[in-house]
Amino acid sequence: MSDFIGRYLNKVDKKGRVSVPASWRSSLISKEFSGIIAQSSLSEKSIDAYPREYLELLQNKLDSNDPLLEENEYESTVLFGGSVLPFDSEGRVILSNSLRAESYIEAEALFVGMGRRFRIWSPKTFDEYLARAKLYMDKRRKNKS
């Protein structure tokens, strides 16, 4: 499975279309499906996004366990609440009004790689998140000293 690394800032048009980073697209194209699986993040004001293969991993985990058990809650929400966003001919996906509203995405979307998946953020919201994360890491480093 391909890794999603880096940050890419792209414009969102009035119809909610946004280009997925070109360097990531080849990892998101298969015979069965070309696009992303997306849902509102459970932990941040952003959109969690996955390739089809990641979704298969989650489904396999749920196939071997009860999807309603608490330890399977995250995987279940992806399947129950995810949206299939296919690529158009230019490598764009359409972010629905509800996804954009829940993640505060307006004119720009920041794609942030997280290894096997990625998040799509409002640039301002990501800057706030990054500031909180840095403070948290600074506190952890100080506590270890």
CATH of the domain at 122: 3.40.1550.20
Q: CA 2, 66, 38, 113: dihedral to nearest 10 degrees? A: -40
The answer to whether position 123 is within a domain reads yes
The answer to whether position 1 is within a domain reads no
Tens digits of residue pLDDT in 15-65: 999 999 999 998 899 888 899 999 888 889 999 998 888 777 777 776 776
67: DSSP letter = T
The residue-averaged pLDDT of 127-131 equals 94
The answer to whether position 2 is within a domain reads no
The answer to whether position 132 is within a domain reads yes
The packing angle between helices 73-81 and 52-63, to 10°, is: 130
What 3-state class would DSSP assign to 120?
A: strand
106: which 2 tokens? 């307006």
The answer to whether position 101 is within a domain reads yes
Domain residues for 105? 7-144
Could you tell me what percentage of the chain is helix, strand and coil, using 3-state DSSP and rounding each to the nearest 5?
40, 30, 30
In contact, 82 and 39? CB cutoff 8 Å:
yes
13: which 2 tokens? 């048009």
What 3-state class would DSSP assign to 112?
A: strand
pLDDT of residue 141: 82
pLDDT of residue 48: 93
Domains: count for the chain: 1
Q: Which residue has the higher pLDDT, 60 or 106?
A: 106
